[in-house]
C-alpha cells in the first residue's frame, strides 16, 4: 500500500543527514514506494477547518551535499495525506505549540506522528517527572532558595533550561563552585520559565544511553559517551556513539513507560538513561535511528514504517 507522507521539518537543506532521524524515516518510506512531501512548519495555514500548506514533492538520497531534490511546489489540504511526520527540532516554544493545535485538526483521520495533543501535553523535561521514582533527584524551579536547599542536600548539581535541547546551556555546578551565583544570574536573565536542577551523576562519563521505543516497545539503543572534558553526551556536542545492550534496569524502565506512551499515541520516543536513572523522555524529534543502524543494531526506521503501515491499513 503506497502512502502519501508529508514531513514537517526544519528545511531539509539544513540537516546533517549522518544523524538525522527524519531523514532516515524518509529514506525508508521512499524505499517502500511511499510518496514524500516536504514542508517547514511556518507554511501551515488553518483556514476554517482545513489545514492548508505549500509542500514540495521530495526525492531523497543518502549522499551528503546532494541529499534531496524537489518537485514543483503545491498547495495542498493536509487531510489528503495519509501520514504527517511532525519532525522539526525544538525549541518547544509557542510556534511549536501553535503547530500542534493546527495539526490536531486533521488527526487521527490523517495520522500525525507523534499525536500533536500528546506532544503538546508532554514537554520533555516535565513529562518525565511522571516517573520521578525512576529519575535522579530533580527540582523544577526558578526560585533561588529552592535551588540553594537542593544544592545543600545533593552537592554537585546540573542546571539546564526546561525547554532547551541538544545539550545547549547545560552546566555542572560543584558544591563549592564560586561561579554558582553568576550562573544563577545568567539563567534568571535568560530564561523566564523554570529550570531543571538535577543531582549530578558521575557515571555520565561512561555514557548517556539513548533508547528508542516504537509504539511503546523497545526498538534499539545507543550509548553516547561525552567527549573528553565535556559534560554533555549529545552527539551534536561531540558525544561518541557506541553500541549497547539494555541492562535489566533499563528493560524495567521501558516496561514502565511503554503502556503510557502507547496510550498517548507517542509513537516514536527516545528516552535518556544515565547509570540506570531516567533523565528525559524525548517526544518531539528524537534522534538515534541512524547511529543505531550504523553500529549494527536494529533497523528502527523499518520498524517504524512496519507499524505505521499496519496502522494505516487497519
**pLDDT > 70 in the chain, percent:** 96
87 SS3 class: coil
**Catalytic annotation on 160?**
yes
Active site residue 210: yes
**pLDDT tens profile 53-100:** 999 999 999 999 999 999 999 999 999 999 999 999 988 899 999 999
**Is 280 a residue of the active site?**
yes
Phi first, then psi: what are they for 270, rounded to 5°? -115, 125
* Segment 88-109, tens digit of pLDDT: 998 889 999 999 999 999 999 9
Structure confidence at residue 156 (pLDDT): 95
Residue 237 has pLDDT above 50, yes or no: no
**Which band of pLDDT confidence, cut at 50, 70 and 90, is reported for residue 165?**
confident
**Per-residue buried b or exposed e for 175-187, using 16+ beta carbons within 10 Å of the residue's own CB:** eeeeebeeebeeb
125 catalytic? Reply is yes
Mean pLDDT of 34-61: 98
Distance CA 140, CA 137 (A): 10
What cell numbers appear for 248 in the block? Answer: 535489566
Residue 231 pLDDT > 90, yes or no? no
For the cut 60, the answer to whether the pLDDT of residue 169 exceeds it is yes
Whether 263 is catalytic: no
pLDDT of residue 229: 57
- Which three cell numbers mark 112? 500525525
User: Catalytic pick from 120, 209, 232, 277?
Assistant: 232
Beta carbons of 2 and 313 less than 8 angstroms apart: no
**Does residue 275 have an active-site annotation?**
no
Q: Convert the pLDDT of each residue in 2-30 to its tens digit.
A: 999 999 999 999 999 999 999 999 999 99
Catalytic residue among 20, 89, 265, 280: 280
Amino acid at each position: 500500500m503506497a502512502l502519501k507522507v508529508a514531513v514537517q521539518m526544519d528545511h531539509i537543506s539544513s540537516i546533517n543527514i549522518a544523524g538525522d532521524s527524519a531523514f532516515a524515516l524518509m529514506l525508508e518510506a521512499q524505499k517502500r514506494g511511499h510518496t514524500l512531501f516536504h514542508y517547514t512548519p511556518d507554511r501551515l495555514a488553518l483556514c476554517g477547518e482545513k489545514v492548508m500548506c505549500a509542500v514540495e514533492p521530495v526525492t531523497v538520497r543518502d549522499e551528503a551535499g546532494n541529499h534531496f531534490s524537489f518537485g514543483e511546489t503545491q498547495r495542498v489540504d493536509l487531510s489528503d495525506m495519509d501520514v504527517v511526520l511532525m519532525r522539526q527540532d525544538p525549541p518547544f516554544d509557542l510556534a511549536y505549540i501553535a503547530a500542534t493545535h493546527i495539526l490536531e485538526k486533521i488527526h487521527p483521520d490523517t495520522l500525525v506522528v507523534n499525536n500533536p495533543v500528546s506532544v503538546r501535553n508532554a514537554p520533555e523535561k516535565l513529562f518525565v517527572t511522571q516517573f520521578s521514582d525512576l529519575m535522579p533527584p530533580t527540582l523544577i524551579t526558578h526560585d533561588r532558595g529552592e535551588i540553594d536547599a537542593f544544592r545543600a542536600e545533593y552537592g554537585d548539581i546540573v542546571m539546564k533550561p526546561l525547554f532547551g535541547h541538544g545539550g545547549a546551556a547545560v552546566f555542572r555546578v560543584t558544591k563549592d563552585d564560586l561561579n554558582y551565583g553568576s550562573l544563577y544570574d545568567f539563567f534568571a536573565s535568560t530564561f523566564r520559565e523554570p529550570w531543571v536542577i538535577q543531582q549530578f551523576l558521575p557515571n555520565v562519563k561512561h555514557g548517556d544511553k539513548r533508547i528508542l521505543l516504537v509504539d511503546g516497545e523497545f526498538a534499539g539503543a545507543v550509548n553516547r559517551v561525552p567527549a573528553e572534558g565535556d559534560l554533555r553526551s549529545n552527539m551534536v556536542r561531540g558525544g561518541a556513539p557506541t553500541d549497547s545492550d539494555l541492562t535489566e534496569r533499563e528493560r524495567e524502565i521501558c516496561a514502565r513507560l511503554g503502556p503510557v506512551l502507547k496510550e498517548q499515541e507517542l509513537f516514536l520516543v527516545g528516552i535518556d538513561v544515565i547509570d540506570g536513572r531516567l533523565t528525559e523522555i524525548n517526544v518531539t524529534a528524537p534522534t538515534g535511528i541512524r547511529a543505531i543502524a550504523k553500529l549494527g543494531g536494529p533497523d528502527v526506521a523499518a520498524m517504524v514504517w512496519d507499524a505505521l503501515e499496519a496502522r494505516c491499513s487497519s
